[in-house]
């Protein structure tokens, strides 16, 4: 019997929204501790991939598979996918007035890893992570995303990521709407988390339209998606090329059969 492959392994994934097929056969593997970037123009299917993997009810999987260190994700409910070790950062995180950040994060941790930390140890952990991420403890008493700036919303997601310590994190358009300072802060947060024992083996799939976040979180592998398919894969220089030449040049190459 063969050994299950470690990684977030997406194979032949097809998915539809409102009966329209968006993903047309995605093959992609994110290895532990590696950063993969998924780039592409608007409407190419990048966010559909994130939501289909996480189990969003509006996204219908038509075929293919997604496994996490050998565990079939598509057969699990969304909460069990999170318990298996999958984390999804949303492009537009929702506000939850009346719920403090501290209570929200404690509840999230207990949902994903029940009974693994008594209250005193959890409190010690959250303050340790705040220090690692260079965040003010006053953050904990605020209501979740209520009146938060774009940068604050993203930093809260980085705190969630650090506390939940998933095996694989999918960051969907994390750089959307951020100014230069906020983007740099988020990048530093991700890199600080990856330098810890809890975060060093986390695999990342960073979904983005622009390559600017990759200046702060360098990618090991870059994939280009167009029209529901991954059309090109390469190293960090591929992201630089997109910034320099745009997506049209790559689209022309793909149409012309250039590898």
Task: Count up the domains in the chain and report the number.
Answer: 1
User: Which H helix or E strand runs over 151?
Assistant: helix 150-164
What's the CA gap between 223 and 232, in Å, rounded?
6
The pLDDT of residue 4 is 53
Q: 154: Cβ–Cβ under 8 A, 6 or more apart, which residues? A: 89, 93, 174, 178, 182, 186
Q: Identify the CA nearest to 164 among candidates 90, 92, 114.
A: 114
Residue 99 CA to residue 15 CA, distance in Å, equals 34
In a domain, 1, yes or no: no
Residue 26 within a domain: yes
pTM value? Answer: 0.90
Mapped onto helix, strand or coil, the DSSP state of residue 25 is strand
Where do the H-state alpha helices sit in the chain?
46-54, 78-84, 101-112, 119-132, 150-164, 180-194, 236-245, 247-255
Q: Read off the pLDDT of residues 149-162 as tens digits, 9 standing for 90 and up.
A: 888 888 888 899 99
Find the CATH number of the domain harbouring 58.
3.40.50.300
- What is the average pLDDT across 46-74? 95
- Is position 150 within any domain? yes
Q: What is the mean pLDDT of the chain?
A: 90
Question: Of the candidates 14, 18, 37, which has an alpha carbon nearest to the alpha carbon of residue 26?
Answer: 14
Tell me the percentage of the chain whose pLDDT exceeds 70: 97
Vertex 72 angle, CA 67 and 73, to 5°: 80
Q: Is 3 contained in some domain?
A: no
Q: In angstroms, what CA-CA distances link 85 with 23, 54, 194?
A: 23, 11, 16
What secondary structure letter does DSSP report for 76?
S
- Residue 3: is its pLDDT beyond 50? no
Of residues 224, 206, 223, the one with CA closest to residue 215: 206
Confidence bin at 1 (pLDDT 50/70/90): very low
Q: Which has more confidence, 210 or 234?
A: 234
SS3 258: coil
Spatial strand order in the sheet of 86-89: 86-89, 168-172, 203-208, 35-39, 221-226, 229-234
CA angle 246, 11, 26 (to 5 degrees): 25
Question: Considering the domain boundaries, does residue 249 fall inside one?
Answer: yes
Rounded to a whole number of angstroms, the CA Rg of the chain reads 18
pLDDT in tens, 178-226: 778 888 888 888 888 888 888 889 999 999 988 888 988 899 999 999 9
In a domain, 36, yes or no: yes
- Give backbone dihedrals phi and psi of 106, rounded to 5 degrees, phi first: -60, -45
Read off the pLDDT of each residue in 97-106 and give the average, rounded to a whole number. 93
3-state secondary structure 87-137: EEECCCCCCEEEEEHHHHHHHHHHHHCCCCCCHHHHHHHHHHHHHHCCCCH
Closest CA to 40 of 23, 54, 55, 52: 23
Domain-located, residue 2: no
* Domain coverage including residue 55: 8-255
Identify which of 153, 104, 159 has the alpha carbon closest to the alpha carbon of residue 126. 159
* Res. 68 pLDDT band, cuts 50 70 90: very high
């Amino acid at each position: 019997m063969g050994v299950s492959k470690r990684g977030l392994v997406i194979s032949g994934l097809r998915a539809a929204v409102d009966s329209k097929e968006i993903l047309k056969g995605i093959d992609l593997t994110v290895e532990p501790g590696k950063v993969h970037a998924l780039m592409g123009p608007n409407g190419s299917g990048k966010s559909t991939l994130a939501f289909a993997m996480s189990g969003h009810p509006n996204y219908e999987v038509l075929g293919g598979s997604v496994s996490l260190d050998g565990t079939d994700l598509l057969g699990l409910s969304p909460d069990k996918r999170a318990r298996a070790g999958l984390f999804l950062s949303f492009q537009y995180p929702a506000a939850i007035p009346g719920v403090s950040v501290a209570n929200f994060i404690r509840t999230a941790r207990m949902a994903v890893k029940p009974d693994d930390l008594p209250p005193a140890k959890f409190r010690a952990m959250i303050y340790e992570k705040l220090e690692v991420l260079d965040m003010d403890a006053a953050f904990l008493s605020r209501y979740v995303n209520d009146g938060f700036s774009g940068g604050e919303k993203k930093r809260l997601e980085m705190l969630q990521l650090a506390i939940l310590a998933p095996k694989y994190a999918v960051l969907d358009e994390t750089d959307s709407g951020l100014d230069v300072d906020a983007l740099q802060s988020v990048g530093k947060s991700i890199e600080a988390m990856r330098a810890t024992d809890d975060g060093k083996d986390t695999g990342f799939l960073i979904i983005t339209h622009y390559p600017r976040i990759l200046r702060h979180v360098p990618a090991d592998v870059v994939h280009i998606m167009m029209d529901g398919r991954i059309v090109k894969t390469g190293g960090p220089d591929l992201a630089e090329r997109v910034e320099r030449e745009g997506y049209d040049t790559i689209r022309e190459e793909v149409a012309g059969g250039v590898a």
